[in-house]
Structure 1
Amino acid sequence: MRKFVIFYTLDVIWIVFFLSLAIMKNLSTQTGLLAIEDLGRFVLFSVLCFVGIIAFVIVVIIQLVYMKKK
């Protein structure tokens, strides 16, 4: 049970960190090539945030199955 709590804590930190980075990149007022670079980083940070959310859902499902077996 403790390993799930550790994972949840790390995963929430992961999601909040990359979500905040994505929001900061989205607020950029640059134009031209710099704007395209910021858009690329925004997409990268958004995808990393999404990966964290998917991992969170998978571990919740694994924990529910694990608890049903006990």
Structure 2
Amino acid sequence: MHEEGSIPEDVPKSHLVVYVGENYKRFVIKLTLLKHPLFKALLDQARDEYDFTTDSKLWIACDESFFLNVVRCASSPRD
């Protein structure tokens, strides 16, 4: 059992939980994605539109397939 606000046991080191879309689907992503310009733009848009006010959980209110495309692009090696 973990305390409220602590990192869930199923989240590997160097990762974080993000909730996406209307159904709050849970994704575990690498922290390094937060530095990618495409992912930063997605977070900026979510902040501007929704102010991240969802019980201290990171919620990105976009289509799940769009989110997965951003993650795929941000995860691919840069040339």
State the TM-score, normalizing by the size of structure 1.
0.29
Higher helix share: 1
State the TM-score, normalizing by the size of structure 2.
0.27
Higher strand share: 2
- Structure with max Cα Rg: 1
